[in-house]
Chain A
């Protein structure tokens, strides 16, 4: 007897008890559907984290000086700061791993005035590499150059919203002079570039609705203008962009060690270096743990479903004792009886698995679409889920099937 004949026999058996088969399947359907929904959602979230990381600079390492002890008030001393020379040395030591280093300092918010137009803006002093490191998308003009830095020039990069307000979508704003008043300065800047604001539509990276307009000026200009700035001869924070084939998490550790050595043991401060990649993998790791936890619960429901299948198969064997006796009298071998019942259990589980996979993927896709993580159903988990449901059929079908196969034909024939 081949597999095909066995499948036909099993289907006949199931067709005789449709409602019961469906109810038995329900346990498997629920189990598989929840595993499937979770894995679809999980892979959508992980995928979206990776995508967003690429957008905001996955290879970035943020380095900053931070107090060793937050309880005592510690003031940053000039000797704590990282000097340009130290940075140059660092950069040449690890030239093959560093793509760019950028610095920035916030100057706070101010008001931009140009003719009748008044806008609230925030001003950031940035170094030339800031644009590259932070993925600033220039649509017009240029970013800050070394010459702007050296000359502490009053030049400014504005965003597209501001440009549209000033000169309209098609207008030329490059070279236009605008005035920006902050708490302590009123300066006139020449517009040299326009950038498009990065939109992060990932709820996992939601950082509040930032409607402020950010404008960039050379960091040297910012420092010279801002009398509060004490860190004239060094930096307390900067961002390293590692090359694409560098393990940025490991390089963050290297960086930290390198600069901690330069600090000296007496300093109240230490170096913190965090790679975005490591932070992201931490986030995805948490997601993975979460989905593992939910999968365990779903697995328990699968187990319960499997026990349900076993229970129904046992009932079915008892109910069909006489039939088994007849089949044996007509020459069915034990193995034929066993495979008939195992295949029946597998079919229940497989049909349940297919329905569960369909339902679960649909739920997962619906959920991830609602949460704005566009995704396609994950192929591998589908195959795994189907194989797993078949395995449940084999596992929980074996005992009842074996019981059927071992029935004594005389006793079975006599059974009423």
Chain B
């Protein structure tokens, strides 16, 4: 079975120029393939280049060198508006600090990516309600973020990430601000999205235990990939498949 390569990175370099002699290279030529339906984790200590990699993966930033294809689309030469559109349609962000719009209700927060995607109003509310139901937040759809607990906020944020049915969900430390129990609930939602809907999920974390739950873990150190392996029972499945 040929698996669809949803992300292909070749020789991604990111450097910052702090005046000509002081070039600071953060990523030193990253090669990365992610297949459709994969649940991938990226781990690394702080300063390893995780965030920079995530920004490039999420089309928030451009690499200095190298090629990046997202859903077979070459990302070089895409202008700012094009990047906005790619973020809108292809990527669903889940942040550590939730990043919900404080004055808007849960429903409106979920509907926001659809607003920027040009989805008609009635369709937006309908789908937002559906997504809130998926994360079991229907009862809170008219509450503002400050009336929600951390776990609830993160569930709303996951629903928002799903709004435009993106190619990948990019979750940056999604449980970092939550206690173990609610963190568990949030992880369960990711597993469900992965298993039931076949979503491609990239989880960025420094929690080795959580990384262990995913299919594959990429380890970053000082701007390079030092480890790329299948985890636990997934390893077996992968062996079966390749046979």
Residues of A within 8 A of B (CB): 1, 5, 12-13, 15-16, 322-323, 325-336, 409-410, 413
Contact partners of B164 in chain A: CB under 8 A: 331
B99 touches A413 (CB 8 A): yes
Q: Verify if B116 is at the interface (C-beta below 8 Å from A).
A: yes
Taking a contact as CB atoms under 8 Å apart, the answer to whether A331 and B87 are in contact is yes
Tell whether, in the assembled complex, residue B61 and residue A330 are in contact, meaning their CB atoms are under 8 Å apart: no
Q: Tell me the dominant secondary structure on chain A's binding face.
A: helix
In the assembled complex, which residues on chain A have CB atoms less than 8 Å from the CB atom of B95? 413
Question: B170: nearest residue on chain A (CB-CB)?
Answer: A329
- B160 — which chain A residues lie within 8 A by C-beta? 330
CA A185 – CA B118 in complex, angstroms? Answer: 97
**B contacts with A, residue count (CB < 8 A):** 28
CA distance A261 to B87 in the complex (A): 89
Q: Tell which of B61, B102, B116, B118 has the most Cβ of chain A within 10 Å.
A: B116
**0/1 interface trace, chain B 79-103, chain A, CB 8 Å (1 if under):** 0110011011100010100011111
Q: With A327-B112, A331-B89 given, name 17 new contacts (CB 8 A).
A: A1-B115, A1-B118, A16-B103, A323-B101, A326-B99, A327-B101, A328-B87, A329-B87, A329-B93, A330-B112, A330-B113, A330-B116, A330-B160, A331-B116, A331-B117, A332-B116, A410-B55
Cα–Cα, bound, A409→B160 (Å): 18
Instruction: Tell me, rounded to whole Å, the shortest Cβ–Cβ distance linking A244 to chain B.
Output: 61
Closest 4 CB pairs of A and B: A331-B88, A331-B116, A333-B84, A330-B113
Q: Is there a chain A Cβ closer than 8 Å to B58's Cβ?
A: yes
- Whole-angstrom CA separation of A327 from B117 in the bound complex: 12
Q: Which residue of B lies closest to A334 (CB)?
A: B80
- Say how far B87's CB is from chain A's closest CB, in angstroms: 5
Whether, in the assembled complex, B141 has its beta carbon less than 8 Å from a beta carbon of chain A, the answer is no
Contact between A12 and B104, CB atoms less than 8 A apart: yes
User: Is residue B60 within 8 Å, beta carbon to beta carbon, of the partner chain?
Assistant: yes
A1 to B124, CA, bound (A): 13
**B99 proximity list for chain A (CB < 8 A):** 322, 325-326, 329, 413
A330-B103 contact given A1-B115, A409-B60, A410-B55, CB 8 Å threshold: no
Which of A15, A330, A410 has the most chain B CB atoms closer than 10 A to its own CB?
A330
Which residues in B have some Cβ–Cβ distance to A below 8 Å?
55, 58, 60-61, 80-81, 84-85, 87-89, 93, 95, 99-104, 112-113, 115-118, 121, 160, 164
Report Cα–Cα, A1/B121, bound state, in Å: 11
Identify A330's interface contact among B55, B80, B87, B102, CB under 8 A. Answer: B87
How many Cβ-Cβ contacts under 8 Å join chain A to chain B? 64
User: In this complex, what residue of B is CB-closest to A414?
Assistant: B51
Shortest CB distance B59–A (Å): 9
Residues of A near B101 (CB, < 8 A) are 323, 326-327
Residues of B within 8 A of A13 (CB): 103
Q: Which residue of B lies closest to A326 (CB)?
A: B99
CB distance from A282 to the nearest CB of B (A): 59
14 of the cross-chain contacts (CB-CB < 8 Å) are A5-B115, A16-B103, A325-B99, A327-B116, A329-B58, A330-B113, A330-B160, A331-B113, A336-B116, A410-B55, A410-B60, A410-B61, A413-B60, A413-B95
Closest to B95 in A: A413
A333 touches B81 (CB 8 A): yes
Q: How far is the CB of A414 from chain B (nearest CB, A)?
A: 9
Q: Which residue of A lies closest to B172 (CB)?
A: A413
Give A184 to B87 CA distance when docked, in angstroms.
106
| Chain A residues with CB under 8 A of B104 | 12
Instruction: Please report the C-alpha to C-alpha distance between residue A13 and residue B101 in the assembled complex, in whole angstroms.
Output: 11
- CB contacts (< 8 Å) of A334 on chain B: these are 80-81, 84
In angstroms, Cα B100 to Cα A65, docked, is 87
**B residues in contact with A409, CB < 8 Å:** 60
Q: How far is the CB of B100 from chain A (nearest CB, A)?
A: 8
Contact among A322, A323, A333, A410 with B116 in the assembled complex (CB-CB below 8 Å) = A333
Q: Which residue on chain B has the smallest CB distance to residue A4?
A: B121
Q: Is the CB of B60 within 8 A of A329?
A: yes
Inter-chain contacts of B89 with A (CB < 8 A): 331
CA of A82 to CA of B160, assembled, Å: 97
Nearest to A412 among chain B residues (CB) is B60
A330:B60 contact, CB within 8 angstroms? no
Measured CA separation A413–B103 after assembly (Å): 17
In the complex, residue of chain B having the shortest beta-carbon distance to the beta carbon of A16? B103
Complex CA gap A323/B81 in Å reads 18
A323 to B103, CA, bound (A): 10
Q: How far is the CA of A215 from the CA of B112 in the complex (A)?
A: 85
A327 to B102, alpha carbons, bound, how many Å? 12
Residues of B within 8 A of A336 (CB): 116
Bound together, the chains give a CA A13 to CA B164 distance in angstroms of 24
Residue of A nearest to B80 (CB): A334
Name A405's closest neighbour in chain B (CB-CB): B80
Instruction: Select from chain A the residue with minimum beta-carbon distance to B164.
Output: A331
B195 → chain A, closest Cβ, in Å? 26
Complex alpha-carbon distance, A322 and B103, angstroms = 13
